[in-house]
Every structure is written in structure tokens, then in C-alpha cells.
Chains A and B, each alone.
Chain A
Amino acid sequence: MSNSRKEKSVLQADLWFCLFFLALLAVFFIVAGGYKPVTRRAPLIVMIPLVAMLLWQLVLTVKNLRRVSIAHPKQSGLLKINPQANHRAFQIILWLVLLLGMIYVGGHLAGIAVFLFFFLRFVCHDPWRTALYVSAGSAAGLYVLFERLLMIPLYNGAIYEAVSAWWWS
């Protein structure tokens, strides 16, 4: 990716970053309006200069974006510039969400073992044996470290909770 393209994509992302936080702060402002004066005092002291700084950053970003756009008018936007990097970013975020989902359903040990196995086998294309050894080894390592040595119980998962609730009822 050329430097100007990279700059443009960073500037566009910066623009969205500022807009996102300005919108979030607008919500915070509205919500803070309902609080007691003492409760909203500190947040307002921070929010007012923060909004000013974000607006200033927005102005600078738009200015720089216009400069880059004039110099390189035919270049495309953020999502089209580096499709491979964007694909990998979405992929890892999606798998992170899946990891949380698996832990929620199966608990830490089972969730992590299943996640690692599928991730290594189907995303990283590691051999079956490597995927199996790493996933089983990691789950066993976490069990020994947290449950046995540090005596910290890990989350057992929704299935276990449901089954144990049914069993005891």
C-alpha cells in the first residue's frame, strides 16, 4: 500500500473515531443531565474539554483528508484499500467473540480446548495432531495452574450450570 493511501485510510479511520466518541459523549451529556449536580460535576468537567479536543481533532483530520484527496483523487476508501488486513482483522475479532461464546456455553476449560482446536485446525491449517495436542495441553495447563495450584475456580459454563441445577432439583 502506498504512503498516501495508508495516510488516507488512517485519516478516515480517525474521522470515524472522533465521530464515534462525539456521539457517545452526546449520549453521556443527555444522560448526565438527569443526575444530581454533585454526581455530574466531575464528568462534565472532563467532557466539555474532551468534546472541544475531539472537535479540534475532527477539523484537523478533515483538513488533512481534503489535502490527501486533492493530491490523490482516485484512491478508494478505508474498506477497499487493504482487503487482506481488513479480512484478518474481522476474522480475529469474530473468533474472539466465538471464544467468549464457547466459554459461556462450555466453561473455560472445554470452551478454550474447543476454540483452540478449531482455530488451529481450520484457520491456521495446522495438522490435526498439533491442534489436538495444543488445545488439550493448554486446557490442562490452565486447569492445573488455576484450579489446582492457585485454587481459583474457573467458569463451568451454561451447560454444566443447567445440568447441575436440574440434578439438584
Chain B
Amino acid sequence: MGVLEGLVQGLYAAVSLQVLPYLIGGAILGLIIGIIPGLSGHFAMAMLVPFIFRMEPTVGITFILAAHATVAQGGGMTAILFATPGTGQNAATLLDGPKMTEKGEAGRAVGAAMTACFIGAFFGVFVLTLLLPVLRKVVLLFGPPEFFMLAILALTFIAVLGGAGSVNKGLIGGALGLMFAFVGMDSVTGAKRFTFGLLELWDGLSMVPVLLGIFAVSEMIDLWITGGSLARKAADGAHESMQKQIFAGVMDTLRNWWLVIRCSAIGTTMGLIPGLGSAPAAFVAYAHAKQTSKHPEEFGHGAIEGVIAPESANDAVEGGALASTLAFGIPGSSSMAILISALLILGVEPGPKLMVMHLDLVFLMIWTVVLGNLMGTILGMFIANPLAKATFLRGSLLVPILLCIIVTGAYIFHRSWFDMIVVLVFGLLGYAMKKLDYSRPAFIIGFVLGLMVERNLYLSLKLYGGKFLFQPLALGLAVLTILVLVYNIVKIVKSNRRAGIGVK
């Protein structure tokens, strides 16, 4: 089967009466799951696996993938409107999204995010379809030393650019995140580490409660202290012009098309690399947008580019992850691992054979991601209005309700009571970090990448000894890391000297 034939057959199958209702149903379900804090894309997929056993492969794949495709959109909406990310991948949206809500520009942010999500997803799946034969060679170039250095580069990039405070505070944030990631069973030796006799810490700290604590609880504490509503600085009647704002947001994304393309490319590339996931991609895209912006000082204070960049990247990641999953049978993320299981349940074996024997199925998946995201974008714009009205409620009513939802969200993923304590502890830490200008994004990235850093360091040392840093690609990434660090320190020192502040 040729590519064009596969493309047409995939589209025909996706919009057929047999498949389309499942595509719409999956998209709605994904959007709802995305809105609920603590429930992620892989939860959506895992939850649907039991339902697909008796389905036709085309129907089952569409249902499960459509749900997964829209989760990030739902999470992006709550990150913007309530400063509560539905999923980890929306953490970077918290840097500017809630600030726009504060200014009464929630609709604009949601419109921009939804459109960026759609374009990002579209970009991801199509570029990768075209580049699959070449990308296989690129992916295989990455071994443990390269993964290790890539993680360090991503962390440095975010620590230096992502935070509002000084370079030192950004790096402290990242290093603290790494430290907390090391709590639990050592993945190499199996020894317990920093668990202090607590059985609940053997598996380490869970991502969801840490994320909810660092970002959501800290925002709720802040809102309670300052008073008012989430849309603090909104002009009167701002909520009435919601549809106009959404349209303005859509236009903002289209106007920033070059930024969307670049950030989608970042997301797609990072999605290809197994284990990196969409949260680091979104932060790297954010840092890239800030560094290349003509007005970087507006980032962190409600810049529209600060919403567009991470949202386009975190949906483009799925294209990359899907490509490596389907073409090589290597899952790029936990969601993709579940997708592989679902495919096997449905009698479809992923890998190079799939690309030759079932090209129509591959394109069906690609169309599902595209159409699912389109559906999510349209639905998201409709539900944004009633959701945004809640941001005008007084904080004293919203804070306790959202705290209950956050605490429940922290519990449900592992159904662990301990996770609710974690959310409280990290909420306090997040509030302190926010007030003292320590980089919370760097903390989260450090936390997400911690175990990957350790595992790849171990493997690199085992394979190459201390010389692993001299592998050509790893060396290039190490040099790039140092350059990023030195360039930004020099830039900050110079600007501080000009302002007469000295080193921060």
C-alpha cells in the first residue's frame, strides 16, 4: 500500500460512521480527564483498555487514542483558569497562563492554547510521517551518554531561563528537584535511599502530588492570602467578552505561527526520545520562546507566547512518541507503552512490519490524533466560557473547593493517603519557592528527569567509564550546556551591572 493510498484510507476509516462516534466520545472523555487534576493521558488510556477487548481494531485504536489526544488540552485549560494543571505536561503553561487570567485575559489564553495544541499535534504527526525513514537513524544515535547530557542540557536551559529569579536560584531549584527524585528505591542496586524508615517512600515520591503541591496548592495559599478572585486584575465585564477573547487568542497563535512551528519541532524531536516525555519538552519550548522573544521581560507576567510555546510543544510530543512507538516498537512514554499493549490486545503488532503491512492503520492513528485534537479544540472553546466564569468567583469560595479537588486528585492516582500529605508538604515548599523567586519549573524538571539522569549516568559509566563525556554527540551537548550557562550568566551580570544591582 502506498503512502497516499494509506492516507486516504486512514481518513476514510476515521470519519466512517462506525468509527466517528468513538472518536468523538474518546475526545470528550479525554478532555474531561484532562480537566481533573491528577488524571493523565496514560490514566485515560489505561482506563479504556478493558473496554476495547471486543472492539474492531480500527474502533478500539481510535477510541483509546482520541481520549489520549485531548487530555493535554483539558489540562491546559485548568492550568490557565485555575492555576491547577490537569496533567504534568501542562506545568509550563502555569508560568504565564494564570497571569493572563489574573489580567482578565483567560479567554485569550485558552483560545491561544487550544489552537497551539491543535497545530502542535498536527505538525507532530505529519512531519514525522514524512521523516520516518531518516529519523530512525537519528534515534539510534542516542545512547546513555547522550540521554544523560540531553537531560542535563534541558535542566540547565530551564534553570537559567525558566525562572524569574537569579541564575543561582534557578539552579538551586533544579538541583532540589533532582534530590527529591532520588528518594526511594535505587533503580540500580535496589537499595532504599532517604526513605527514613517510611514504607510509603520506597517507591519514591509520586509525580502528581509533587506537581499539584508545588504549583496548585501554593497558588491557592497565595490566593487565600491576597484575597480577591483568580481573575484579580480583570476589567469589569471581561468575562462577558469571552468569545471575542477566544477568537483573539486563536489569532494570536496564527500570528505567532513561526514560534508555533519551532516549538512544535522541539516537542516532536523530544517526543522521539524515549523517556523524556512532554513536561520537559514544554519547558524547553517555553525557555526557547523566552530567549528568542523581543520582550523577554514580559514572560512570567502573562505573555501570550508563554502559553503558545509550551502548549504547542506538549501536543507535538505525541507525534514524536507515536512515531517511535509505531515504527520501532519503542514506547516514547508510559502512554505509548499502554498503546502498545492495546495494539497487541487488538491483534496488531507495532514495529517496522506495521509500517509495511498496515499503513492504513498507521494513518488512522495519525488522523485520530489530528481529528481528536480538532474536536478537543472546538469543545474546549465551548466549555472555556462557563469554566472561566468560575475564575471570577471570590477566592474565599474557590480556594476551599479547589483544595478539596486537588487533595482528591493527589489521592486517586495511587489511592495512597500518603500522597495527600505529600501534596501539603510540597504545597508549602512551592509557596516558599514562589515568594522567594526560586525556579519552580526547574524543580519539577529536575524531579521528572532525576531517575533518568541517574540510570543513564550509571549505564554510561558502565559502558565507557569516565570517558563517556567524550562521545562525540555527548561532548557536543556538554559544550552546548556550558555555553548556555556561561552566556546567560554573562548576560545577567552585564544587565545587573548596568542597573547597578551587582550579582544576584
Contact = CB atoms under 8 A, between A and B. Distances in A.
Asked whether A and B interact, the reply is yes
Interface of A: 10, 13-14, 17, 21, 25, 28, 31-32, 35-36, 38-39, 41-43, 45-47, 49-50, 53-54, 56-57, 60, 85, 88-89, 91-93, 95-97, 99-100, 103-104, 108, 112, 115-116, 119-120, 123-124, 126, 134, 138, 142, 145-146, 150-155
A17 B175 contact: no
A115 B225 contact: no
A36 to B, nearest CB: 6
Contacts of A99: 403-404, 407
B247 interface: no
Interface string B165-180: 0001101100110110
Interface stretch (B123-131, B254-262, B420-428): B420-428
Contacts, number: 136
Contact of A13 (B399, B435, B453, B454): B435
B194 interface: yes
A38 B194 contact: no
Given A17-B432, A50-B176, A57-B169, A134 B397 contact: yes
Q: Which 9 A-B pairs have the closest CB atoms?
A: A42-B454, A50-B175, A124-B396, A92-B224, A112-B404, A39-B191, A39-B186, A119-B400, A46-B178
Contacts of A53: 168, 171-172, 175
Given A99-B403, A112-B408, A39 B172 contact: no
Nearest to A63: B502
A96 B411 contact: no
B174 to A, nearest CB: 9
Contact of B408 (A45, A95, A154): A154
B306 to A, nearest CB: 24
6 contacts: A17-B438, A35-B193, A41-B457, A92-B399, A100-B407, A155-B417
Given A21-B176, A100-B407, A120-B397, A35 B412 contact: no
Nearest to A88: B225
Given A39-B188, A42-B454, A46-B179, A28 B194 contact: yes
Nearest to B196: A31
A60 to B, nearest CB: 7
B136 interface: no
Interface of B: 33, 36, 39, 47, 168-169, 171-172, 175-176, 178-179, 182, 186, 188-189, 191, 193-194, 196, 217, 220-221, 224-225, 396-397, 399-401, 403-405, 407-408, 411-412, 415, 417, 420-421, 424, 427-428, 432, 435-436, 438, 453-454, 457-458, 503-504
A93 B182 contact: no
B440 to A, nearest CB: 13
A58 B410 CA distance: 34
Contacts of A103: 407, 420
Given A53-B171, A155-B417, A108 B182 contact: no
A115 B421 contact: no
Contact of B415 (A39, A46, A155): A155
Contacts of A123: 396
